[in-house]
Amino acid sequence: MTNLIISLIVSASVVLSALAQGTFQNLNFELANPGQYSSFNVPVSDALPDWTVTIGGVQQAYVGYNAFSTGAPAVVLIGPGYGPIDGSYSVLLTATGATAAISQTGLIPAGTQSLYFEAQTGLGALDVLVGNQVVSIAAVGSGANYTLYGANISAWGGDTEQLTFAAQESTSGLNNWELDDISFSTQAVPEPSSLALTGVGALLFALYRRLAPKRQ
């Protein structure tokens, strides 16, 4: 029960403190337009507008759509009926033998403290980079089908930087990371203990507002 309360508080805090996304676009992958394409023949410009895709550091022109790799590194758009985390689309990074990464360059809003994203966690590491620097990510909450991760990126608020998500090779097998709902926030990455102490009142008030009878 405590973990559920903490997760709800974190999610509510992220939503309430979310910033405009600077000049970054398509951070929830909902601008995808896979059209008539299938398998691994979808142009990146249609599947992941505004993102650059690399495999082993080499830029790719095509990605998969609802087609899962069984032994090669890949970037795949996950669509309706195939388990997107939220909305209609997520992106799946599969690393084996080489890294699988997406990146985008944009303005990180001034006042940004943290980066948040939802993920289904893989069997190995996911590197999140701002510019060329790997930032430390921490699990700060969870939903029915994802873990919510946060990273302190306060040093880059107001800067134009490249943001990269890169699944790394793993000795455990295919390292699959499914990502969704990337956002910048004025909320610092919280400690669970402080959340439990300071957020319960806000959560109860939000639940009251949701459950209270609506005036006609």
- pLDDT tens digit sequence for 10-27: 444 444 345 668 899 999
Q: Report the C-alpha gap between 29 and 18 in whole angstroms.
A: 17
- pLDDT tens digit sequence for 146-172: 999 999 999 999 999 999 999 999 887
Residue 95 in domain: yes
- Tell me the residue range of the domain where 71 lies: 2-210
Please give the model's pTM, rounded to 2 decimal places. 0.82
Spell out the residues 6+ positions from residue 63 whose beta carbon is closer than 8 angstroms to its own.
40, 42, 44, 47, 48, 53, 74, 75, 76, 77
Q: Which residue has the tokens 């005036």?
A: 215
Residue 215 in domain: no
Q: Report the C-alpha gap between 18 and 24 in whole angstroms.
A: 14
Q: Report the C-alpha gap between 40 and 92 in whole angstroms.
A: 13
Please state the domain count of the chain.
1
Residue 78 in domain: yes
Contact 102, 75 (CB under 8 A): yes
pLDDT of residue 40: 84
Q: Report the C-alpha gap between 199 and 196 in whole angstroms.
A: 6
Q: What is the mean pLDDT of residues 104-117?
A: 97
SS3 136: coil
- CATH of residue 195's domain is 2.60.120.260
Q: Report the C-alpha gap between 88 and 82 in whole angstroms.
A: 10
